[in-house]
Structure 1
Amino acid sequence: MSRDGDGCLGDLGGGDDDDGNGDDHGSQVEEAQKPKKKKERKKARLRSTATEPVEQSSPPRVALNDLFPSGDYPKGEFQNYPLNHHVAKRTTAAEIRYESRRYWEDDEFIQNYRKAAEVHRQARRWVQETVQPGYTLHHIAEVLEDSVRTLLENAGLEPGDGLKSGLGFPTGLCLNHQVAHYTPNPGHKEVVLQQQDVLTVDFGVHINGWIVDSAFTMAFDHTYDNLLAAVKDATNSGIKNAGVDVRISDVSAAIQETMESYEVEIRGRTFPVKAVRNLCGHNIKQYRIHGGKSIPFVKNSDQTKMEEGEVFAIETFGSTGSGYVYDDVSRLSHKALFIAP
Structure 2
Amino acid sequence: MIELKTPAEIQRMHVAGRFVAEVLSEVGQLADVGVNLLDLEHHVRGMIKRRGAESCYWDYAPSFGRGPFRNVICLSVNDAVLHGLPHDYTLRDGDVLSADLAVSIDGWVADSARTVVVGTATEEDLRIIRATEEALEAAIEMARPGNRLGDISAAIWAVARDYGYPVNNEFGGHGIGRTMHEEPHVSNKGRTGRGLTLRPGLTLALEPWFARTTDRIVYDADGWTIRSADGSRTAHSEHTVAITEDAPLVLTRRDTEHPVRQGDSASRLSTKDA
TM-score scaled by structure 2?
0.71
Say which of 140, 143, 156 aligns to 1:255. Answer: 156
Partner SS for 1:173: strand
In 1, are the aligned partners of 2:154 and 2:191 still within 8 Å (CA)? yes
Structure 2: gaps (5+ residues): 58-71, 231-274
Return 5+ residue gaps in structure 1 as ranges. Answer: 1-96, 155-164, 263-271
**Equivalent residue for 2:245?**
none
Structure 1 position 336, deviation (Å): 2.6
Q: 1:18 matched to which residue of 2?
A: none
Q: Give 1:131's aligned residue.
A: 31
Alpha-carbon distance in 2 for matches of 1:256, 1:128: 27
CA distance in 2, matches of 1:144, 1:296: 29
| 1:300 to partner: Cα distance | 4.2
**Alpha-carbon distance in 1 for matches of 2:79, 2:173:** 19
Assess if the C-alpha contact under 8 Å between 1:324 and 1:340 holds in 2. yes
Give the structure 2 partner of residue 167 of structure 1: 55
Highest Rg: 1 or 2? 1
| Residue 222 of structure 1, aligned match among 121, 140, 149 | 121
2:217 to 325, 328, 333: 325
Q: Which has the higher contact order (CA 8 A, sep 6+)?
A: 2
Identity, % of aligned pairs?
22
Mapped contact 2:73–2:101 kept (Cα < 8 A):
yes
In 2: Cα distance, 1:130 partner to 1:326 partner: 28
Tell me if 1:337 matches 2:226: yes
Structure-2 residue corresponding to 1:70: none
Q: Which whole-Å deviations, capped at 9, do the CAs of 1:272-313 have from their partners, x for residues lacking one?
A: 333333221111131x21112111111248522233312100
Residue 295 (structure 1) aligned with residue 193 (structure 2): no
Cα distance between partner residues in 1 of 2:90 and 2:43: 15
- Counterpart-to-counterpart distance in 1, 2:216 and 2:224: 16
TM-score (norm. length: structure 1): 0.58
The reply on whether 1:307 has 2:207 as its aligned counterpart is no
Structure 1: distance between partners of 2:197 and 2:219: 30
The Cα offsets for residues 206-263 of structure 1, whole Å up to 9 and x where unpaired, read as 122221100000113321111111110000000001122321111111111112322x
Does 2:107 align with 1:209? Answer: yes
Q: How does 1:1-341 map to 2 (within 5 A)?
A: 101=4, 103-106=5-8, 109-150=9-50, 152=51, 154=52, 165-169=53-57, 170-184=72-86, 190-220=88-118, 221-223=120-122, 224-262=125-163, 272-286=164-178, 288-300=179-191, 302-328=194-220, 331-332=221-222, 334-341=223-230
Distance verdict in 2 for CA 1:181–1:143, change over 3 Å: same
Stretch moving more, 250-259 or 231-240:
250-259
